[in-house]
Amino acid sequence: MYCKTPQNGAGCTYGALTELLMGTKLTLRTVEAAKPLAKPYELRDGDIKGLLLRVQPSGVKSFVVEWGRGKRTTLGRFPVMTLAAARTQAMAALADAAQHGTPEIAKPRGKVVTLGDLINKEYGPWVKANRKDGEATVARLESTFSEFLTKPLSEVNAWVVEKWRSARLKSGKTPATVNRDLTALKACLSKGVEWELLETHPLTKVKPSKVDTQGRVRYLLPKEDKALRKALHNRDAKMIAERKSGNRWRAERERELLPDIPDDGFGDHLTPMVLLAMNTGLRRGELTSLEWTDIDLRGKQLTVRGGNAKSGTTRHVPLNVEALDVLKRYHRQHSSNGRLFDLTRVNKSFAALLESAGVASLRFHDLRHSFASHLVMAGADLYVVKELLGHASIAMTERYSHLAPGHKAKAVALLGGGAK
């Protein structure tokens, strides 16, 4: 959707926008292009009557379903909630409303008394609709704070949480892990205060545990890098040979053949994911959220959209020679539509790869550390590395500063040779 009618430089006027969309259905293009104005406005879908996109002056875009005059509820925020998911939920809600008057999604969920009530009736549905890691957040809360779920909200206070923290640390959990758990709980209770289910936040005085922010940066050593690449090559070669053998067997029995894998192709997703992580520094979640529309082979860059980035900010990452070659080869094997990698986890296949390569104590996330570490060791500016990684602050990038070639030695050398 393109509109040339300005309003204080903020974009299209509401009238121009609605005129453009009248009688047409919402598309990803129109949703992404809808610009914030001085006042909130809504775009109605011409395909599914009752589905709307509400755009706030802040830029927040939410899908809304309306089943009668003044009868509506919010489905979720874009881009955490996709247009396809909004359509599915809207159709289900409208069908539910036609049968029962009020769709289940809009019914009051009962009185919130315990922490479990807050999570299950209020915070859980909200976080799942508005945060890309919503499902994982709810699972973390229910698992980590299971002993608190039946407690009245008034009893979830600083004292019991400090006892919980001491026991958690004593059991061997790292301060960083405990801090992440505590942050999840505090976020949940903050929403309880915002929604007036709690008068005050009970954990405002509970501070995070002290953590070594520099920590140990695990990155691939040259020998490990070589071994990992060899293991990837061998794995693909084996899968390609097995596909050829399998298709010969199928042809002899007049069975449908499986798609051929080119000799320079990849057996599956693992090699492209690993090599892209090593050459772009993308997080695993950012990799698995990539769509082919995010890849610009001609411009030699990829785009990490804000809704899929930890920082919430869109960034553009240049593609070096190897990353570009990997994507071109992988593209020849796959459709140009949808996601590059139709999966969320690679734990088992990555663990097997490390075992065959003889590389120990390496997580998939350490490939991101390798990308940053090797850039810094090659003399890259920390601020450039920060932008490539999508860090919210330079403090997060400074963990790699000790790897800069001779930076401390050069500083000390400024003092001269000392007494002679």
Query: Cis ω on the peptide bond leading into residue 103 (within 30° of 0)?
Result: no
Catalytic residue among 283, 305, 369, 374: 283
Q: Taking Cα atoms as reference points, which of 132, 140, 148, 142 lies closest to residue 311? A: 132
Examine the residue annotation and report whether 310 is marked as an active-site residue of this protein: yes
Catalytic residue among 310, 315, 329, 334: 310
Phi and psi at residue 383, to the nearest 5°: -70, -30
Examine the residue annotation and report whether 332 is marked as an active-site residue of this protein: no
Examine the residue annotation and report whether 368 is marked as an active-site residue of this protein: yes
Examine the residue annotation and report whether 331 is marked as an active-site residue of this protein: no
Examine the residue annotation and report whether 383 is marked as an active-site residue of this protein: no
Catalytic residue among 41, 219, 330, 400: 400
Catalytic residue among 368, 369, 386, 399: 368
Examine the residue annotation and report whether 410 is marked as an active-site residue of this protein: no
Catalytic residue among 332, 365, 402, 408: 365
Instruction: Give Cβ neighbours of residue 186 (< 8 Å, ≥ 6 apart).
Output: 201, 203, 206
Q: Catalytic residue numbers?
A: 283, 310, 365, 368, 391, 400
